[in-house]
Amino acid sequence: MKKRYCCERFESYVEDSLEVLEGQIVAEHFPSIKIVKGVADKFNNGKNLYSFLIICGFIKDNPPTIVIAFCPFCGKNLFKYYKDDKYVQGTWTDVGLQLYYGNTVYNVK
Ligand SMILES: [Zn+2]
């Protein structure tokens, strides 16, 4: 099923942040935006299944992340707009955040 983003700029920050070749990251552009799933009570008070992160650096360097609730470009409420697993690019776990790129899983603390 085709993904429909709230706006083109949000889509580009989500979809075009990474160039993956044969499961390996060959280039990163940041800041990027990631939509992740899982238990993250400290960020969402347990009300929402998804979290929305601005990632400010290279994934391998454990970059700082900023949790957002509204699209920085069009202002949409992200919790109301994104409710489908097809957008998910990572999962919160007990040891932190895991982001999926191609065949690779990156742990972000
Ligand atoms: Zn938007």
The 10 Å Cβ neighbour count of residue 80 is 11
Above 70 in pLDDT, residue 68?
yes
In the chain, what are the domain boundaries? 8-108
For the entire predicted model, the pTM comes to: 0.80
Average pLDDT, the chain: 83
Q: Compute, in angstroms, the gap from residue 39 CA to the centroid of ligand 1.
A: 24
Q: Compute, in angstroms, the gap from residue 13 CA to the centroid of ligand 1.
A: 10
Please state which of the ranges 2-6, 10-14, 20-24 shows the lowest mean pLDDT.
Answer: 20-24
